[in-house]
Amino acid sequence: MTTRKRFSLPANELTAEAVFRERRTFLKLLGFAGLNAWPFLQACSNFAMESRELGGTLVNLKTLPARPNDRYRLDRPLTDRLAAAKYNNFYEFTSGKDVWRYVDQFVTRPWQVAVSGLVKKPQVFAIDELIRTMPLEERSYRHRCVEAWAMAVPWTGFPLAELVKRVEPQSGATHVRFLSFLRRDQAPNQRGVFSTDLWPYHEGLTLAEATNELTFLAVGVYGKELPKQHGAPIRLVTPWKYGFKGIKSIVAIEFVDHQPPTFWNQLVPDEYGFWANVNPDMPHPRWSQQTERLLGSDEQRQTVIFNGYGEFVAHLYQPPRREFFF
């Protein structure tokens, strides 16, 4: 169809206005007529809106088919996709919430995750190999930030326990250490005003937490691969803990015989601890944790202990002690 070239706009010029300005000609070229074209036009409009709103960071993301897992039901609507994508913490790039503005130079392919330490079968996994060989599923989880905002999103990924099985931990392994990337040329805050010798970002779980059924390695969200601001290409999701435990852009997982140091605990030890379990009755030193604000609607809700997932994880913290929530 030779006339198609008239509409071959560069990606940064592909806007809803450009599509709808030539609506009738566009429909003729595509063989549509009348209202039958509306779903296609709506898709074009959504694509264009996301491209404008987020500088292209949500477009051209690969769809990740996955079976839905309805075991973990939500008590709230899913957060709007754009609202979730425009409000993130990712301090490697910025201390603001507009992370999407700073991630264009971040390269997420090729990508590998090295699993080592006290395991019988240490391995290095290419991210696309993991996506191809792991049993992908979609889980809608509540997400609670330590800053008292919250969202609910459908993650695509697989239980961390499935990866643990592959590497076979040794009997001496008690904890799992996670490490993110160090790329000062791609992450402005790793070299700028937030630079610190503590980079790269690092986190940890007990082995019991790591193999809990809730603990999830996400490679996608909203049915597509992870956008960069969400922690592409692979991140940890622990929905009963505050969000800073969910390390993004993982490059290494190590099985160890001790509680590993964690980034925020080392940086601000009086405000962030190892456990970080959600608890409305344990305030942050600078604000209350009694309520949470939902992204997209600004609705205020009461915070629930373990973020509402106590039936799955409370047994990990018996007998209950105050330090389990710091």
Span 44-80, pLDDT tens digits: 455 555 555 686 788 889 999 999 999 999 999 999 9
Distance CA 181, CA 92 (A): 9
Tens of pLDDT along 237-251? Answer: 999 999 999 999 999
Are the C-beta atoms of residues 248 and 201 closer than 8 Å to each other? yes
- Dump pLDDT digits (tens) for 197-207: 999 999 999 99
Give the pLDDT confidence of 84-140 residue by residue, as tens digits: 999 999 999 999 999 999 999 999 999 999 999 999 999 999 999 999 999 999 999
pLDDT surpasses 80 at 15: no
CATH no. for 67-325:
3.90.420.10
Q: Is the pLDDT confidence value at 6 over 80?
A: no
- Which amino acid type is present at position 42? Q
Pairing of strands 137-144, 67-68: parallel
Domain spans of the chain, in order of start: 2-53, 67-325
Lowest-confidence region among 35-44, 149-158, 167-176: 35-44
Q: How far apart are CA 225 and CA 239, in angstroms?
A: 19
Task: Summarize the confidence of residues 265-283 as an average pLDDT.
Answer: 97
Q: What percent of the chain has pLDDT over 90?
A: 80
Model pLDDT, residue 54: 82
What is the C-alpha to C-alpha distance for residues 237 and 153, in angstroms, rounded to an integer? 11
- The predicted model scores a pTM of 0.86
pLDDT at 194: 85
The answer to whether the beta carbons of residues 241 and 171 sit under 8 Å apart is: no
pLDDT band at 21 (very low <50, low <70, confident <90, very high): very low
**Largest pairwise CA distance in the chain:** 72
Q: Is 68 helix (H, G, I), strand (E, B) or coil?
A: strand
In residues, how long is the chain? 326
